[in-house]
Chains A and B, each alone.
Chain A
Amino acid sequence: MATERRSETHPGIDSYGRVNRDVLKLLSVPGRAYRILFACVLVVLAWGIFAFGTQVVLGIGMSGLNNPVSWGLYITTFVFWVGIAHSGTLISAILYLFRARWRQSIYRVAEAMTVFAVLTAGLFPIIHLGRPWVFYYLLPYPNQRLIWPNFRGPLLWDVFAVGTYLTVSTVFFFVGMIPDVAAARDATTVTWRKKLYTVLAFGWRGTNTEWKHFNRAYLYLAALATPLVLSVHSVVSWDFAVSIVPGWHTTIFAPYFVAGAIFSGLAMVMTIVIPIRKIFGLEAYFTPRHFDMMSKLVLLTGMVVFYAYLTEYFIAWYSVETPERYAFWNRAFGEYWWATWIMLTCNGIIPQLLWSKKIRTNIAAIFTITIFINIGMWFERFVIIVTSLTREYEPWQWRPYMPSWVEMSILAGSFAWFFMWFLLFLRILPGVSVAELKEVLPAPIRRLSGRRIQTGEASP
């Protein structure tokens, strides 16, 4: 009977064919709303590029940075996007290894988000350079002068950490997509799509041998990607932790940043998935159960983050170090108290609502909460970076910082850049894993009459 033959995780999906239809429908010719949205995104992006252009031509003085505050919005946003990038790998790789079956429908979106977030994050270290045209000095390329970058420097570790993460997550993303792309290849009639899918499908035919190898490869890649979830943001945190800036120089930073990254990444996944689910009619794929599970994870990581906040304050007090104590006093009650309290409220207090099952399953409530978390996590980085720099050791060199229009434009442009990729992804690549989803659906069976209930026309 039908009820007995429902998937545990995706009860709304009743057949393989429906999966194919729903997912491949996403790849059809976009409608008017999509085009308008895409145009808006491009306009914002163009504005951001223009702002960056003025900065390149005139100098990074177009930002609001000043002498004590050498890092501001750019590095804040860099860390923000790197953090966002974490949940993709977490959901696809770690949950895969843990055999969390509910991840099947959601991981493709999360992975795409990862890749695009890293693409976005990777721009910022270059944007924030005083001389971005010589960014390649940071790369260890062979040269006749035998000048190498400084391998002791955390910024160089960053180059490798982010570079590795981008590479691995991209490979993981594309490898996982092979069977789905093959299905799309077989279904499409549009020439350029056919060509694109043919390339990306790597000649996939769906043979048993291919499946065997594919599953192995996917498992190994998942295993490879898993440590990166921990390493990338640890390295990013060392950008700060290895310095001697009060408020940065602390050993808790690596776990604290990783937890924060997962926290913000999951929140971002939900923020993105909820509208998609609604707009594209994918309620059956992204079920309240998904949001319930992810909300639990958000709650857990949020608690870790909140604990880290408290630990920082405790250690600052416990250190009996004037600059250290002052840095934390200054965070809470100094010029940027509002940023700190936004951070504490959004990341510490609001997520506590998720203790309630009612809220965890209320999509609108979750959407609101995750928006708050996104804001809070951006402010967390702002608080750490900016308030610490405004008041360091030398009172004579204390000075506040406010972002300029260029920085705000580039921040907006970075969101546009991210969503541009995301919108393209939704229309070009299968946004839900057809193959993996089918694994959790009941296999199609024949009725007694011999007529197939469902037509599994696409055989992935």
Chain B
Amino acid sequence: MSNGLERRAFLKVLGAGGAGASLYGCGAGTAAEKLIPYVIAHDEIVPGISTWYRTTCRECPAGCGMNIRTREGRAVKAEGSPLSPVSHGALCARGQASLHGLYNPDRIPQALARGADGLQALTWDEAEQRLADALNQNRGRSVLLTEGLTGTLDTLIDQFCAAFDIERVRFEPFALEPVRAAHRMLFGVDAVPVHDFANADVVITFGADFMETWGSPVHYTHGFAQAHAYDRGERGHLISVTPHQSLTDMNADMWLAARPGTEHLVALAIARAIVDGGADAGGAAELLGTVDIDANAQAAGVAASRVREAAVLFANGGRSLAVGPGVSTMHGAAVGVAAAVAILNRVAGNIGTTVHLNRTERGGASAGSYAEMRSLVQRMSAGDVGALLVYGPNPLYSMPPDDGLDAALGNVPFITSFSPYPDETSERAGLLLPDHHFLESWGDTVPRTGLRSLVQPVMMPVFNTKHTGDVLLSVALRANAALPGQATTFYEYLHETWLRDVFPAAGGGTSAEDWWRETLKTGFVADADEAGGAADAQQIDAAALAQVTFDTATFGGNASDPLLIVYPSSKYYDGRMANRPWLQELPDPISKFCWSSWVEIHPQMAESLDLDTGHIVEVSTGTVTVTAPVWRNPAMRSDVIAIQLGQGHTAMGSYAAGRGVNAVRLLAATEDPASGALVWQQTHATLRATGDWERPIKQGLQDEQHGREIARAYDIDEARAADAGRGLAVIGGAGVAVPPPAQEESGGHHVDVHPQDARVTQLQGAGGFAPVEMDASPQGYPTEGTWYGEYSQEQPRWGMAVDLDRCTGCSACITACYAENNIGVVGPKLISQGRILHWIRLERYFEHAEDPETLQTRFLPMMCQQCGNAPCEPVCPVYASYHTPDGLNAQVYNRCVGTRYCANNCPYKVRTFNYFSYEFPEPLNWQLNPDVTVREKGVMEKCTFCVQRIREAENDARLEDRGVRDGEIVPACAQTCPADAIVFGNMRDPESRVRRVAASGRGYRVLEELNTQSAVTYLRRVASSEA
């Protein structure tokens, strides 16, 4: 996204300069709460033209900068802001699905009171009065429970709590307490440090799923892909030490399947090996002196030679970075893991280079801990809490059942929830004061030290909801509680705060209001020197280190039973995203299950129990038993079973209801005293086959390629040789992988000819095809002497290059495609029948699965290949499937009669068929992209490289009397890719980025032997040399 600034999308980004100033009809006030048609047209809203707003994603704490595309006053697409130092122009699937939060049909539509006879509608005046009264009655006995907030709202809440004598408790399930604890003890920094993946050539992760939920997934994935992906002959390494592979670990080049609870032994062994090599132990010398590499490796169940190999790689592979633990390694010894990781970073010299102790995630703001939440539960049980206000977390879902929260809530006479959605906790609230969705809200957030990011509303509220900041200010006014400042709305409060606190440092000489407007367009303010604060601490506090225990974690249950691993979902985060239809529909990046939970069992164990994918098993720990289908997963130790978190909601709305199981229910209320965290990995579980089998709600039933070479790989020497063979420079040394343009000048057709000018009609009259003289790129595009799909040399030939060495399999592209192309959500039953509609899918193949040492996971995004010689086209009897002059395989939905022959004849199987008409229940239909047809039953549909974006860019270029610029058109999948794995452009333009990327020696086309002349070039994954 280096040229993201040039995108017209950016040029159109608007700042909502004040309440309602440029935002269509939006007032922060309470008067206008309905969308009404224009009587007098708004100056800045032109029907048919998108308006873009910059804001910040609040779906997880990471705080990615966003561009929201609105059409006719409605948000229709979320994209990453190319300017944002967090999102880098990309978004994850959760960010893409924020629109399904905004338009969720299950949202609480207005203020409600829960009485004996059900829910009763309240006006906001009544509701606020009730809250004010309750707070006045319960002074000193009230608790406001929030997630780990940052920014202005955090300050306001603190002030509000002070004014009403409310205790503030923070709680987040994924607060990474052990990481904080270890850095607090070892370095005196009570925070999660910022990790610089972009500058880490070698990364070792101890269960930190940094591509999914750990820290800032988009930022980290972006950085990781930059540093890790093959480039000019060089490539980074990712080593994973974990009993069960998360998506992050599936991208690893080396997997040390350490016994659960021993990951820190591996970390210490590696640290010892590095120190043995002469590195400075930095305060950990005493500890490392006691480490025996062989003994540790043996205790961890890993070959000592591989540990040494990892140590060599880590020490000598370039700049390095160790991260962990994550939820899947948060057992009783999690602080030990975190401390060992910190020591490893210290001895490898990473502190201050790739690990920044002086810059922290969320600016060091507390995210609370499980221990704090537990003590709150105890006080509630004791009847010490008179009023509970919940803003954000859903502890009733996220805490183990024997914490007794369920009963404790019964002891609280007054519970208010600000949640915009129903959830387990808000179901217990007597007063529901639904907050705006963040896309309707003002706000700000601090993603990390030195960075403040603004949240601004992009459209009118969909429901009669109210910003919690507004509610707090209004309640304070009603109760005559004095808050500092004069603001009566949260917008004023925010505005005031920014002009007071941020402007003086960031504003420079401009006027405050101009600066504010410009900042809204930029979306964030970063410190010029992001490394503010004290210099990095360098020395480990040896005394504190002595307090850390590095014992192997112990687990409950019967040791002969498999150990239960629970791990976070990249789709649902901590479960809060479970009611989003797009995310439920999205095949899980790991298992490819949708709309359900599953129990992961290693094929060896499955074989011995005679279980296959789809068999229903009971998993039980103590008194709790859950039932779910099996998935045979080779990417885990054979002595563990795993269940993903995030499903099994009982009160979260219609899409989450009854979907799968909540794995937290299997856990006992166990606290890690060293960090106050919940011990996520705590027990062995019994597994019992029920004998039932159900058709798995799963996309992609084969986990192996059957020798078909769909997703291919080179080892690094082959990749270098192939690049060299094409005349591309490879390292070691200087040089670029891109041949200088001069080599390609012959036959290079300039693209500055608009397709409309081409002699399309004439050519079609002559039979449609015209031979083309084309300088074949090293990739042979198109094959010399053929003219498949080549109408005219004046036409562009749209193509794509997908770098499989960058693709992490995160699947954000799929949800982006759903959002852009109005793809229907078919639901679990139809997915189990194979009728999912995704136009781009992520194939995940296991290679060499028989041995964990050689196991390799390959991801391949498969979308329509826009074949030049497309098998789908000639077989359509009605020309619904036809070839556009610019080489796309178009599909005319209105012409399609549904013979489905095209789908039979598509070797890539990328055409999807509408077996039914799918619904977009109100108000989800507001999200529909007005530029794309909604298809009815009986119609075939497919990827068209986002033809609506192509045509829009072409029209714009035409209006400006120029050609389409390279990079101007970005399909939704490429746009949202955090790893920048997908490049789109004109293959006919030798200067285009896509052409240059496709020229790589690693390039190949899937099923090329069928002579489909596909327009998508895949770049082989580069496997580590050991595999």
Instruction: Give residues 271-314 of A contacting B (CB, 8 Å).
Output: none
**Could you give, for residues 364-400 of chain A, a 1 whenever the CB lies within 8 Å of some chain B CB and a 0 otherwise?**
0000000000000000000000000100111111110
A67 to B862, CA, bound (A): 15
A407 to B1025, CA, bound (A): 52
The bracket for how many chain A residues form the interface is 35 or more
With a cutoff of 8 Å between Cβ atoms, the chain B residues found around residue A203 in the complex are none
A147 to B706, CA, bound (A): 43
A67 to B911, CA, bound (A): 8
The answer to whether B702 and A396 touch across the interface, beta carbons within 8 angstroms, is yes
The answer to whether B871 and A137 touch across the interface, beta carbons within 8 angstroms, is no
A391 to chain B, nearest CB (A): 9
Say whether B622 faces chain A, with CB atoms less than 8 Å apart. Answer: no
B735 to chain A, nearest CB (A): 37
With a cutoff of 8 Å between Cβ atoms, the chain B residues found around residue A239 in the complex are 901
The answer to whether B877 and A138 touch across the interface, beta carbons within 8 angstroms, is yes
Say whether B771 faces chain A, with CB atoms less than 8 Å apart. Answer: no
Given known pairs A152-B874, A154-B875, A399-B834, the reply for A130 and B710 (CB within 8 Å) is no
B857 to chain A, nearest CB (A): 13
Cross-chain contact of A67 among B836, B907, B938 (Cβ < 8 A): B836
Say whether A155 faces chain B, with CB atoms less than 8 Å apart. Answer: yes
The answer to whether A150 and B835 touch across the interface, beta carbons within 8 angstroms, is no
The answer to whether B833 and A64 touch across the interface, beta carbons within 8 angstroms, is yes
Say whether B899 faces chain A, with CB atoms less than 8 Å apart. Answer: yes
A310 to chain B, nearest CB (A): 25
Closest residue of B by beta carbon distance from A249: B905
The answer to whether A137 and B895 touch across the interface, beta carbons within 8 angstroms, is yes
**Could you give, for residues 888-899 of chain B, a 1 whenever the CB lies within 8 Å of some chain A CB and a 0 otherwise?**
000000011111
Closest residue of B by beta carbon distance from A326: B706
A133 to chain B, nearest CB (A): 9
B870 to chain A, nearest CB (A): 11
Instruction: Give residues 834-863 of B contacting A (CB, 8 Å).
Output: 834-836, 841, 843, 845, 862
Given known pairs A67-B834, A131-B896, A243-B871, the reply for A397 and B909 (CB within 8 Å) is yes
The answer to whether B833 and A68 touch across the interface, beta carbons within 8 angstroms, is no
Say whether B141 faces chain A, with CB atoms less than 8 Å apart. Answer: no
A65, A147, A239, most chain B CB atoms within 10 A: A65
Cross-chain contact of A130 among B700, B708, B900, B1007 (Cβ < 8 A): B900
Cross-chain contact of B913 among A130, A150, A393 (Cβ < 8 A): A130
Closest residue of B by beta carbon distance from A245: B904
Say whether A156 faces chain B, with CB atoms less than 8 Å apart. Answer: yes
Task: Select the stretch in A53-61, A84-92, A95-103, A448-456 that faces chain B.
Answer: A53-61
Given known pairs A243-B904, A395-B702, the reply for A61 and B916 (CB within 8 Å) is yes
The answer to whether A129 and B899 touch across the interface, beta carbons within 8 angstroms, is yes
The answer to whether B900 and A137 touch across the interface, beta carbons within 8 angstroms, is no
B1009 to chain A, nearest CB (A): 9
With a cutoff of 8 Å between Cβ atoms, the chain B residues found around residue A392 in the complex are 907, 909
Say whether B624 faces chain A, with CB atoms less than 8 Å apart. Answer: no
The answer to whether B907 and A150 touch across the interface, beta carbons within 8 angstroms, is no
A242 to B710, CA, bound (A): 24
With a cutoff of 8 Å between Cβ atoms, the chain B residues found around residue A397 in the complex are 700, 909
The answer to whether A395 and B706 touch across the interface, beta carbons within 8 angstroms, is yes
Instruction: Give residues 144-180 of A contacting B (CB, 8 Å).
Output: 147-150, 152-156, 159
The answer to whether B708 and A394 touch across the interface, beta carbons within 8 angstroms, is yes
A268 to B914, CA, bound (A): 37
Say whether A323 faces chain B, with CB atoms less than 8 Å apart. Answer: yes
With a cutoff of 8 Å between Cβ atoms, the chain A residues found around residue B895 in the complex are 137, 147
A25 to B915, CA, bound (A): 51
Say whether B704 faces chain A, with CB atoms less than 8 Å apart. Answer: yes
With a cutoff of 8 Å between Cβ atoms, the chain A residues found around residue B845 in the complex are 395-396
B843 to chain A, nearest CB (A): 4
Instruction: Give residues 901-939 of B contacting A (CB, 8 Å).
Output: 901, 903-905, 907-909, 912-917, 936-939
A69 to B904, CA, bound (A): 7
Say whether B22 faces chain A, with CB atoms less than 8 Å apart. Answer: no
The answer to whether B874 and A131 touch across the interface, beta carbons within 8 angstroms, is no
Say whether B705 faces chain A, with CB atoms less than 8 Å apart. Answer: yes
Say whether B115 faces chain A, with CB atoms less than 8 Å apart. Answer: no
A354 to chain B, nearest CB (A): 36
A169 to B917, CA, bound (A): 40
The answer to whether A60 and B871 touch across the interface, beta carbons within 8 angstroms, is no
A149 to B874, CA, bound (A): 11
The answer to whether B835 and A66 touch across the interface, beta carbons within 8 angstroms, is yes
The answer to whether A394 and B907 touch across the interface, beta carbons within 8 angstroms, is yes
Say whether A459 faces chain B, with CB atoms less than 8 Å apart. Answer: no
The answer to whether B834 and A153 touch across the interface, beta carbons within 8 angstroms, is no
Q: Count A-B contacts at CB 8 Å.
A: 161
A163 to chain B, nearest CB (A): 13
The answer to whether B897 and A138 touch across the interface, beta carbons within 8 angstroms, is yes
The answer to whether B878 and A67 touch across the interface, beta carbons within 8 angstroms, is no
The answer to whether B879 and A149 touch across the interface, beta carbons within 8 angstroms, is yes
Given known pairs A395-B704, A396-B700, the reply for A155 and B909 (CB within 8 Å) is no
The answer to whether A155 and B875 touch across the interface, beta carbons within 8 angstroms, is yes
With a cutoff of 8 Å between Cβ atoms, the chain B residues found around residue A71 in the complex are 900-901, 904
Per DSSP, chain A at the interface is: loop
B506 to chain A, nearest CB (A): 49
Say whether A128 faces chain B, with CB atoms less than 8 Å apart. Answer: yes
Cross-chain contact of A150 among B702, B708, B876, B909 (Cβ < 8 A): B876
The answer to whether A131 and B898 touch across the interface, beta carbons within 8 angstroms, is yes
A156 to B915, CA, bound (A): 23
Closest residue of A by beta carbon distance from B912: A67
The answer to whether A244 and B877 touch across the interface, beta carbons within 8 angstroms, is no
Cross-chain contact of A129 among B876, B897, B914, B915 (Cβ < 8 A): B897
Say whether A134 faces chain B, with CB atoms less than 8 Å apart. Answer: yes
B704, B909, B914, B917, most chain A CB atoms within 10 A: B909
Instruction: Give residues 115-151 of A contacting B (CB, 8 Å).
Output: 125, 128-132, 134-135, 137-138, 147-150
Say whether B830 faces chain A, with CB atoms less than 8 Å apart. Answer: yes
Say whether B707 faces chain A, with CB atoms less than 8 Å apart. Answer: yes
Closest residue of B by beta carbon distance from A401: B834
The answer to whether A59 and B841 touch across the interface, beta carbons within 8 angstroms, is no
The answer to whether B914 and A59 touch across the interface, beta carbons within 8 angstroms, is yes
With a cutoff of 8 Å between Cβ atoms, the chain A residues found around residue B896 in the complex are 130-131
Say whether B940 faces chain A, with CB atoms less than 8 Å apart. Answer: yes
Cross-chain contact of A61 among B830, B904, B939 (Cβ < 8 A): B830
With a cutoff of 8 Å between Cβ atoms, the chain A residues found around residue B905 in the complex are 243-245
Say whether B1010 faces chain A, with CB atoms less than 8 Å apart. Answer: yes
A125 to B830, CA, bound (A): 24
**Could you give, for residues 236-247 of chain A, a 1 whenever the CB lies within 8 Å of some chain B CB and a 0 otherwise?**
000100111100
Say whether A345 faces chain B, with CB atoms less than 8 Å apart. Answer: no
A153 to B898, CA, bound (A): 14
B1024 to chain A, nearest CB (A): 24
A352 to B899, CA, bound (A): 38
The answer to whether A67 and B701 touch across the interface, beta carbons within 8 angstroms, is no
The answer to whether A394 and B898 touch across the interface, beta carbons within 8 angstroms, is no
A67 to B833, CA, bound (A): 8
The answer to whether A131 and B939 touch across the interface, beta carbons within 8 angstroms, is yes
Given known pairs A129-B938, A154-B875, the reply for A137 and B897 (CB within 8 Å) is yes
With a cutoff of 8 Å between Cβ atoms, the chain A residues found around residue B835 in the complex are 61, 66-67
Given known pairs A393-B1007, A399-B834, the reply for A61 and B897 (CB within 8 Å) is no
The answer to whether B874 and A153 touch across the interface, beta carbons within 8 angstroms, is yes
Given known pairs A68-B909, A130-B939, A138-B897, the reply for A150 and B878 (CB within 8 Å) is yes
B789 to chain A, nearest CB (A): 15
A17 to chain B, nearest CB (A): 54
B842 to chain A, nearest CB (A): 9
A130, A147, A154, A244, most chain B CB atoms within 10 A: A130
Say whether A251 faces chain B, with CB atoms less than 8 Å apart. Answer: no
A449 to chain B, nearest CB (A): 71
7 tightest A-B CB contacts, nearest first: A130-B898, A130-B938, A61-B915, A66-B834, A70-B900, A397-B909, A59-B937
Q: Known A-B contacts: A130-B897, A131-B939. Give 13 more (CB < 8 A).
A: A60-B938, A63-B915, A65-B915, A69-B834, A130-B937, A130-B939, A149-B877, A149-B879, A153-B875, A155-B877, A245-B905, A322-B708, A394-B909
Please list 6 pairs of residues, one from A and one from B, whose beta carbons are closer than 8 Å in the complex, sorted by A's number: A59-B916, A129-B898, A130-B938, A131-B936, A395-B702, A396-B700
